[in-house]
Structure 1
Amino acid sequence: MRLSIATSSRLAAPIAEATIGSFGHYRGLVAGSSEVGDGDLLLALEGTHSNGPWQLDENLRKLNGFAKLSGANWSIGLTGYHARWSATDQVPQRAIDAGLIDRFGNVDPDLGGRTTRFGLTGQAKIGGTELRLFAVRYLFRLTSNFTYFLGDPANGDQFQPRDRRTVFGGSLRHTVPVAVADRPISLSFGADARWDHIDTIGLYPSVAGRRTGVVREDGVDEYSGALLLEGSAALTDRLRLTLGARGDLYGYTVDAAAIPSTPAGALTRSSVRKRRWPGEPATASSCTQILGKASIRTTYAVRRFALTL
């Protein structure tokens, strides 16, 4: 059984909305669609600003964009998202009890984050065959401080996680109708694939929202593939039986850098290349060594059995 979420290809009428709320909340939305040649073009744009109830304004600025060009048996979509915000985060109860700060107050005024995401999708259907492809570019940076001055009384314990990645993937399905004992059965088989290219995933100490060093800074490539088979039959008007089998293979390459024990913040790097089954420890001894460098483990199993009423 597969969950499928589809976006609209056209709107019955254009949309324009404006919202004003408390705590500096403003939201605007415009959307519309039009025929383009033999297809439909849908465009939508949403913007939001909000401060929240905090003494330190959240100053959330969020922008969403969506575009989709579709025909009878195909579609191409483009999405964009960007947000920036300031964060109050958790505050010590004892500071509130002592009257040092309000319960909507803050200890570190330089916390917050920003994130950006662009997505490109494509879908086509020819007869009983369906192809879906996607690509995503994702950027994320956060400034946090959970312990304030516990670890570093002079500069504080502020830190910044960072993630920069590009994701590619797709799926292929082919469905054929068959009959068993004069009962119609829908038989599907196909494959899934995904590659996460994480060019930077890191953790950095910071002061007043500015990085002051490097704790870790790694690069990761994670890839996966799957083959699947599924059969579905209606046993009665209200009861459907679905049986499926799926095998997955995951692999990764890590370019790791750590600096705590190196002088002057110099990076030390090591590379790890493995393929493993989900949930298996990275150093699992059950892997079979191949060519002395890569380890591989594959498993085939019935992944799901479902009755749908």
Structure 2
Amino acid sequence: MENPAENLVGVAQSASQGAITARQLDVRPIMRQGEVLETVPGVIITQHSGEGKANQYFLRGFNLDHGSDFAMTVAGTPVNMPTHAHSQGYSDINFLIPELVAGVQYSKGPYFADQGDFATAGASNINYATTLDRPIAHLEKGTYGFGRALFAASPKLGPGHVLAAFESSANSGPWTVPDSYLKLNGVLRYSQGNAVNGFSLTAMGYHGKWNASEAVPLRAVDAGLIDRFGSIDSTDGGHTYRYSLGVDWQRGSPLSLTKVTAYGLAYDLGLISNFTFFLDDPVHGDQKEQSDHRFVSGVKVAHRRLTKWAGRSVQNTAGAQIRNDDISNVALYATEKRVRVETLSEASVLVTSAGVYAQNEIEWTRWLRTNAGLRGDVSRYHVNALETFNSGTTSAGLVSPKGGATIGPWKGTEVYVNAGTGFHSNDARGTTITRDVDGNPVDRVTPLVRAKGAEVGVRTVAIPHLQSTVSLWTLRLASELVYNGDAGATEPGPASERHGVEWANYYSPRRWLVLDGDISWSRAYFAGAAAANRYVPEAVGTVVSAGASVDTFHRTFGSLRLRYFGPRTLVDDGSVQSKATKLVNLEGGYQMKKNVRAVFEVFNLFDDAVSDIDYYFASRLPGEPPGGVNDIHSHPAVPRTLRLGLILSF
């Protein structure tokens, strides 16, 4: 899937598979790095805490939390973190540099044999460029203490090129307690050859620290205790780093291609949060620190071969993947004003996962193609917990069949049918646990949770310059099991079902003009639950994304975009709902000289006072009853925000 969005008929295996080009990203207003993924139809990115924390992701009836059912890679290196201190599959892409992105390939559903853990709702692969047209300096300044500087170049070195980039940024935001988010980020890549015969060696480094204003109870805002941008605990925040080294090697011929990817990754996070304020500890407060320190290593090998069988074109692919997470410390501490006062849970964990797969694609006729895949995965967990009764070793395995058929094209139109099984893993600590942090007996969780999905869709380019896709899909999870990193306990849940429709359109009537519009609708239910308690809380329902982009028309360029995040049910009986969030963002610019561009961005153009994200749970403010008060807790979208930039090329 390395073709631009307008050329996927005859290439894609499903209607919900696609690619985003660097050109599309270049004229799109992006406030957070994670919003690169909002180019994927149906995806919503939010934040409920400080900007240095991983974003909250929504797609296909899921509140994906920080990445539990959406697999992500950047430059060949995985992003999702299993057995993470904060949440299973935690995916922080604050290290992403949008100017270096060469493209985004995405797919949805568990239909693809090369995708393993977390790839249930979908998966994305963000590629970095190997070379730049010319060196660039991008300088930005904005409201609320925002500043950013990026320098990047790709000089020739011997038979290849060196891509070097360094980014520094600061952002305080509109919060009463400034975020004071400071980020240092760098990429160094050496590459030779091309995507068929070549290699690249990529080093990436990121360090960030920040303060955090967590979601606040609406009753505190209504009573005038704080405003929408205030906080109850002013000492929340965090710090993180991520340093990785990866190599990609590929050798090919007209009939075959072999690709090998290897990587190593050092990661650390210290996240300090207080969600319930004084509910558990009325004296010191409920602030907690989640700590995660690990080294990740892995190898991926894939071989693809084209051949003939009975006069028909056949493509066979086989691959193997192995990953090891050596987690020296994953812990939960009670803190007060960022000072540790008690160890609630602490463990070292070794998570080893391996997968092998095979996929066969046959072109039976000019109008019928099929693909069939089989994947096998095994995972082994070794947990050494501070509480020895929660230590142990477990393992599990799954076999996942997948398949699909493509009918067409007729007059630029194809019909797709897909079905398959996949999985997401659960926190390793939940597979060996016997008692929670309060000493209460708890049940262990299933290590690997099965997902089953299917969809039917249509893709057409029958109308000149327009690509349109429609898909109807369904997805069932065997269990909504999660490990609650805030409480240090597992929370087994029932099976769930999700159904939905997606309609995506990309229209380019002129070389310099693009109109796009995507609508997604989905519903999520607990399978077999009583009608009064069947709703999956926080499940995304309706998502609309639409925009118009101009790329270098009489020296001007820009984009105007609408983002609609529909209301969500916040509790399983449906009695409490969030309000919808509608935002309009604007980007514009002018090519002052051949090597100088001026850019401006306005986020939340109409200054709408809406939420970025809402939750419903019990918390306690000083003077409230010991059991706390159930309330909506909201993190507001930023008010109208202006950023000005100057892009210099040499």
Fold similarity call, TM over 0.5: yes
- Name which of 155, 159, 163 aligns with 2:292: 163
CA shift digits 1:123-158 (9 cap, x unpaired)? 112333211101111101111111212222221111
The one of 156, 164, 169 aligned to 1:35: 156
Q: Which amino acid is 1:212 matched to?
A: V
Does residue 87 in structure 1 map to residue 212 in structure 2? yes
Aligned position for 1:16: 137
Residues 198 and 308 of structure 1: is their aligned pair in 2 closer, same or farther, counting only changes over 3 Å?
farther
Alignment map for 1:20-99 (pairs within 5 Å): 20-72=141-193, 73-99=198-224
CA, structure 1 residues 58+4, in 2 after alignment: closer, same or farther (shift >3 Å)?
closer
Q: Which amino acid aligns with 1:241?
A: T
Corresponding residue of 1:210: 339
CA–CA separation in structure 1 for the residues paired with 2:457 and 2:303: 22
Q: Give the counterpart of 1:174 among 303, 310, 322.
A: 303
1:141-160 counterparts in 2 under 5 A? 141-160=270-289
Q: CA deviation at 1:305?
A: 10
Alignment match of 1:247 (pick from 348, 353, 376): 376
Q: Which residue number in structure 2 is paired with residue 233 of structure 1?
A: 362
Secondary structure at 1:282's aligned position in 2? Answer: helix
Equivalents in 2 of 1:195, 1:110: separation in Å? 34
Deviation track 1:249-306 (CA, whole Å, cap 9, x = no partner) reads 1111000123xxxxxxxxx4653111113669837xxxxxxxxxxxxx99xxx99999
CA deviation profile, 1:97-144 (whole Å, cap 9, x unmatched) = 222222222221110111110111101123332111011111011111
Match among 262, 273, 287 for residue 393 of structure 2: 273
Q: Structure 1 residues 239, 69: closer, same or farther in 2, change over 3 A? A: farther
Give the SS at the match of 1:6.
strand
1:237–1:119 distance in 2 versus 1, CA, 3 Å: farther
Aligned-partner residue type, residue 392 of structure 2: V
| Range that drifts further, 270-279 or 221-230 | 270-279
**1:235 CA displacement:** 4.8
Matched-pair identity in %: 33
Where 2:155 maps in the other structure, the secondary structure is strand
Residue 123 of structure 1 aligns with an amino acid whose one-letter code is D
Moved more, 181-190 or 247-256: 181-190
- CA positional deviation for 1:229: 0.9
Distance 1:140-1:303 versus aligned 2 partners, 3 A rule: same
Taking only aligned residues, the RMSD between alpha carbons, in angstroms, comes to: 2.7
Q: Work out the number of aligned pairs and report it.
A: 284
1:83 touches 1:116 (CA, 8 Å); kept in 2?
Answer: yes
Question: Alpha-carbon deviations, 1:62-116, whole Å to 9, x = none?
Answer: 1221111011211100111111110111223222222222222222111011111
Number of the residue aligned with 1:129: 258
Quote the offset at 1:8 in angstroms: 1.1
Scaled by the length of structure 1, the TM-score of the pair is 0.84
Are 2:319 and 1:194 aligned?
Answer: no
Q: Which has the higher strand share?
A: 1
Cα deviation per residue 1:142-198 (whole Å; 9 max; x = unaligned)? 111112122222211111011111111111112222211211211111211111111
Query: Does the aligned pair in 2 maintain the 1:242–1:306 contact within 8 Å?
Result: no
Does the Cα contact within 8 Å between 1:66 and 1:77 map onto a contact in 2? yes
C-alpha distance in structure 2 between counterparts of 1:91 and 1:241, whole Å = 51
Task: Answer whether contact 1:243 1:305 (CA < 8 A) is retained.
Answer: no
8 Å CA contact 1:241–1:307 kept in 2: the answer is no
What TM-score does the superposition give when structure 2 sets the normalisation length? Answer: 0.41
Q: Give distance in 2, aligned partners of 1:92 and 1:230.
A: 50
Assess, with a 3 A threshold, how the Cα gap between structure 1 residues 236 and 136 changes in structure 2: closer, same or farther. Answer: farther
- Unmatched 5+ stretches in structure 2: 1-111, 115-123, 398-422, 433-446, 460-650
**Is residue 313–residue 364 contact of structure 2 (8 Å, CA) maintained in 1?**
no
Pick 1 or 2: higher relative contact order, CA cutoff 8 A, min separation 6. 2
Output one character per residue of 1:34-61: Cα deviation in whole Å (capped at 9) or x when no partner: 1111111001111221111111111111
Give the whole-Å Cα distance in 1 for the aligned partners of 2:135 and 2:127: 19
Taking structure 1 as reference, are residues 68 and 93 closer, same or farther at Cα in structure 2, changes over 3 Å only? same
1:110 equivalent among 235, 244, 251: 235
Query: Quick one: which amino acid aligns to residue 308 of structure 2?
Result: A
Separation (CA, whole Å) in 1 of partners of 2:375 and 2:453: 6
* Shift in CA distance, 274/42, structure 1 to aligned 2, threshold 3 Å: same
Letter of the 2:396 counterpart: R
Q: Structure 1 residues 225 and 87 mapped into 2: Cα distance closer, same or farther (>3 Å)? A: same
2: CA distance between counterparts of 1:16 and 1:8? 16
Contact 1:90/1:146, CA 8 A, preserved across alignment: yes
Other-structure match for 1:261: none
Shift of 1:228: 1.1
1:120 maps onto 2:245 in alignment: yes
User: What are structure 1's unaligned runs of at least 5 residues?
Assistant: 259-267, 284-296
Aligned to 1:294: none
Cα distance in structure 2, aligned partners of 1:105 and 1:176: 58
1:33 and 1:109 mapped to 2: Cα distance?
43
Give 3-state SS (helix, strand or coil) of 1:94's partner: helix
Q: Distance in 1 between matches of 2:183 and 2:308?
A: 52
Aligned equivalents of 1:12, 1:219: Cα separation in 2 = 46
